[in-house]
Structure 1
Amino acid sequence: MSRGRDRYVDFLRAWAILLVVGGHWLITALVRGPGGEIRAPELLATVPWTQWLTLVFQIMPLFFLAGGHAASGSWGRARAAGGTVGGWVRQRALRLLLPAAVYSGLVLFALGVCEAVGVDRGTLALVGWAMAMQFWFLPVYLLLSALTPALHAAHRRWGVLVPVGMGAVALLADVLAVGFHVPVVGLLDYLLVWGVAYQLGFCWRDGMLGGRRVVPAAMAVSGIVAFVALVRVGPFPVSLILVTGQTPSNTNPPSAAMLAWAVAQVGLCLLAAPLVRRVLERGRVWGVVRPVGGASMTLYLWHMLPVLVAAAAFYLTGIAPQPAFGSVAWWGLRVPWLLVLGVVLIGVVWALRPLERGLVVLYERTRPQEAGPLRRSSLLRLGLGLVASVWALGYFAGHGFAYDGRFPVLPALGLALGTGLVMLPGVRAAPRSEEEEYGSVAEEAA
């Protein structure tokens, strides 16, 4: 496989984002109560068979796989050019933190205004949860990006043994968390399970996985068999998305079953690569994939805003028909629901274009100078900024933007402080090529 830019990697990131957006929209159900209040019943808990759909929509292992592939190439080029760990980590962190901080700031401002004018706390809590439900990904990816130089050094020395070892430690942590009720140890699996997929991206880029079809075939078969065994015989549910009250969960933290499914997905992805690459060589197909990849961070962050727009336009007004929840008629209305949300999201992305251009300028003004290491004080600020940012993003992921209907003062300050500290060490540098420009996590150079 070519070590240059791989259209298939870009396709995987775009495909993953589209499935995440579509999956969130599909399972988001709104019901207007007799008093005009809006509720959001949990589809996966209310209609249990829908948990099987998560086997299709839980596609984030492939996003981490593609992210590892991209980070491997980016860090390799930086090392070859004499770049430093601190400068590279800061550059990657800003790619994620700038759009996430701007999004969070705008949402928090709107929620703060609503709280000040007396909007019901239950409504604020529901809206704050909806606008932060996708945030679990951000602190995990930020940490893996910061650890990339160390992870890549281990990869260069031990190759495939690194993800194998990480998987073994993840299984041990899961045994302690689930079997011996030590939940704190299970938190390691956020980095270990998703880190396996990320590390496999390194191996994929260096040709350690795709040289022979027997390797990805073995990964696919063994992953599926292990997943079935863990669900049918073991203690894990089939749902690969968090279901309230379901213990243990496959995502909070990622379980052995999630690890098995991630390995299976990677294997299937590698088996499909030759066919999909041939399709992507067609100009029209690539012309659709590339802009989706270019807008994927925007799509990921903002895709729940159309749900709020639709709720205000059709449910608060009582216009939306309300067949029995989970009935055939209800499922039939999912089609226009998805279409309406898609149209609104296209409008949101278009409206955000000036903001995106402003972020490009801001990134160019704050990205680190490529020559020379950061000073010790700058490295300390970078470390503190990453810690504060990870904590704040993790809080929002677990509690939403308005837990209990209240403005989250400390997490908001933590994200602002963390982002500011990461930005501080930068100096103005020469413009880079189009492929190296700030775009999004999913637009990183492969």
Structure 2
Amino acid sequence: MGRDRYVDFLRAWAIVLVVLGHWLITVLAHGPDRALGAPELLATVPWTQWLTLLFQIMPLFFLAGGHAAAGSWARTRAAGGSATGWVGRRAVRLLLPTGLYSGLVLLAVGLCEAVGVDPGTLALVGWAMAMQFWFLPVYLLVSALTPLLHAAHRRWGLAVPVVLGAVAVAADTLVVTVHAPFVGLLNYVLVWGVAYQLGFCWRDGLLTGRRLPAAMAVGGGLVFAALVGLGPFPVSLILVTGQTPSNTNPPSVAMLAWAVAQVGACLLAAPALRRLLERERVWRVVRPLGGVSMTLYLWHMLPVLIAAAAFYLTGLAPEPALNSGSWWALRLPWLLVLGALLAVVVSALRPLEGALVARYERIRPDTGPYRARLLWPGLAATVLALIRFATRGFAEDGRVPVLAAVGLVLGTALVLLHRAPGGHGSVPRRPAETEGALEEAA
């Protein structure tokens, strides 16, 4: 089975909308003391929380990821490959660009701390550069669980996401009724795991036709509306400070309903969008976005910092009243400037990421043997470090989080070392395969 252009489109579309959504809600403004701050748009202008229904599209990224992972793991199983080799391969593709990003950001934080940058400012910047990290430990976990999840899928099919969803509902009920936050942590894997598992079902033809996707779209949408309109859940599908319960921290039953609705709508739209993607002019635009999706996702807040320094710290940017007509009119040039800056950043960093992957593949080619005793502890340490960055940023209290940094370095090193060094008889990846490795990380 060849690559499904629609699956690649969904991954690219999800990343682009996440980037645009983060940029759109990012507000920079000088306070009465002329200090530059970042007011929270979703809290300050509550109606903007409805916009998150358009920009919270990560369920489709997990759906597409599950579809791609199912095909990749099935091919590995058919060829006699191991779970350790497959999980390690995907972990490496995710952690090499993540390690490069984290290392450069932590180095910058350390230098700023050494020269005496204001701790409050540094903490805000460190949080901004880590706000997207919630996704990484979750995706690493579901990727690591793929062999088990796919085995369950082969045996029970659609019953698996139904059961995962039911457990997620039970966990969220405990969170809301008896305030059991640690139980809610399960929903990071359960809710997003439902979308991932539906990707398996989609690939294997269990979601064909129009009746089931239509029922998912309508039913999920109605349940979401009831939970927001009649229940305790907010409409915002992005975290809003002080808002409880939240739909994302941890993922709520309302987020689960919205994910099911999105998946149903996505499947209904598939035939028309597949026909559109068969046009080469359209595909030439979409395909490169998929190839740089991880780079876009990791680095998309750096242009905000550059724009802040260039236009706001210098006083060049106009600052109309928040939520005024003039303020909204300036959102378009704001997005265009950030887009141009991100294009420059990606152009500079993409070759570096590619060289890093290529060098690793030459030194430790993907030919086995694989050391499970290194991979699994390495993944555990890496997930814990990424959770720490996701929850507290790269510079909590204006300082480098040394313990989390050490955990990320050691965990990533163990993951990288799970492959044996290449000998004279090893066969490295062909250049085209190396170039596509980062794209397949998702």
Q: Which residue of 2 aligns with 1:331?
A: 328
Find out whether 1:79 has 2:72 as its counterpart.
no
Alignment check: 8 A CA contact 1:69 1:205 kept: yes
Q: 1:259 to 1:434 in 2, by over 3 A?
A: farther
Find out whether 1:300 has 2:293 as its counterpart.
no
Deviation of 1:36 after TM superposition, in Å, equals: 4.0
Alignment check: 8 A CA contact 2:362 2:429 kept: no
Q: Secondary structure at the match of 1:352?
A: helix
Which of these residues, 122, 125, 135, is aligned with residue 124 of structure 1? 122
Task: Measure the CA separation in 2 of the matches of 1:150 and 1:436.
Answer: 27
Q: Which residue of 1 aligns with 2:228?
A: 231
Q: Which residue of 1 aligns with 2:219?
A: 222
Task: Measure the CA separation in 1 of the matches of 2:295 and 2:310.
Answer: 23
Find out whether 1:168 has 2:170 as its counterpart.
no
- Report matched runs for 1:250-399 at 5 Å: 250-365=247-362, 369-370=366-367, 374=370, 378-399=371-392
Q: Which residue of 2 aligns with 1:423?
A: 416
Q: 1:290 to 1:69 in 2, by over 3 A?
A: same
Q: Secondary structure at the match of 1:118?
A: coil
Unaligned stretches of 5+ residues in structure 2: none
Task: Measure the CA separation in 1 of the matches of 2:297 and 2:437.
Answer: 10
Deviates more, 1:23-32 or 1:348-357: 348-357
Task: Measure the CA separation in 2 of the matches of 1:93 and 1:443.
Answer: 11
Task: Measure the CA separation in 2 of the matches of 1:442 and 1:167.
Answer: 29
Task: Measure the CA separation in 1 of the matches of 2:182 and 2:51.
Answer: 29
Alignment check: 8 A CA contact 1:363 1:438 kept: no
Find out whether 1:37 has 2:35 as its counterpart.
yes
Q: 1:414 to 1:72 in 2, by over 3 A?
A: same
Q: Which residue of 2 aligns with 1:411?
A: 404
Q: Which residue of 1 aligns with 2:204?
A: 206
Deviation of 1:430 after TM superposition, in Å, equals: 2.1
Q: Which residue of 2 aligns with 1:27?
A: 25
Alignment check: 8 A CA contact 2:123 2:396 kept: yes
Question: What is the aligned residue count?
Answer: 438
Deviation of 1:33 after TM superposition, in Å, equals: 3.0
Q: 1:398 to 1:171 in 2, by over 3 A?
A: same
Task: Measure the CA separation in 2 of the matches of 1:366 and 1:205.
Answer: 34
Give the residue type in structure 2 aligned to 1:416. V
Task: Measure the CA separation in 1 of the matches of 2:190 and 2:102.
Answer: 27
Which of these residues, 191, 201, 205, is aligned with residue 193 of structure 1? 191
Task: Measure the CA separation in 2 of the matches of 1:175 and 1:441.
Answer: 38
TM-score by length of 2: 0.96
Give CA-to-partner distance per residue, 1:83-108, whole Å, 9 cap, x none: 11111111111111111011000000
* RMSD over aligned Cα atoms: 1.5
Deviation of 1:362 after TM superposition, in Å, equals: 3.2
Give CA-to-partner distance per residue, 1:308-333, whole Å, 9 cap, x none: 00000000000100101111111111
Find out whether 1:70 has 2:63 as its counterpart.
no
Q: Secondary structure at the match of 2:219?
A: helix
Give the residue type in structure 2 aligned to 1:390. V
Find out whether 1:443 has 2:436 as its counterpart.
no
TM-score by length of 1: 0.95
Task: Measure the CA separation in 1 of the matches of 2:264 and 2:137.
Answer: 26
Deviation of 1:34 after TM superposition, in Å, equals: 4.6
Give the residue type in structure 1 aligned to 2:186. L
Identity %: 72
Deviation of 1:370 after TM superposition, in Å, equals: 3.7
Q: Secondary structure at the match of 2:145?
A: helix
Deviation of 1:369 after TM superposition, in Å, equals: 3.9
Deviation of 1:383 after TM superposition, in Å, equals: 1.2
Give the residue type in structure 2 aligned to 1:37. A
Task: Measure the CA separation in 2 of the matches of 1:188 and 1:35.
Answer: 43
Task: Measure the CA separation in 1 of the matches of 2:349 and 2:188.
Answer: 31
Q: Secondary structure at the match of 2:233?
A: coil
Q: 1:369 to 1:342 in 2, by over 3 A?
A: closer
Alignment check: 8 A CA contact 2:365 2:429 kept: no
Question: Which structure's relative contact order is higher, taking Cα pairs within 8 Å and 6+ residues apart?
Answer: 1
Task: Measure the CA separation in 2 of the matches of 1:108 and 1:233.
Answer: 44
Deviation of 1:180 after TM superposition, in Å, equals: 1.5
Deviation of 1:233 after TM superposition, in Å, equals: 1.0
Task: Measure the CA separation in 1 of the matches of 2:154 and 2:367.
Answer: 23
Task: Measure the CA separation in 2 of the matches of 1:94 and 1:371.
Answer: 14
Task: Measure the CA separation in 1 of the matches of 2:197 and 2:375.
Answer: 24
Find out whether 1:157 has 2:155 as its counterpart.
yes
Q: Which residue of 2 aligns with 1:142?
A: 140
Deviation of 1:366 after TM superposition, in Å, equals: 5.7
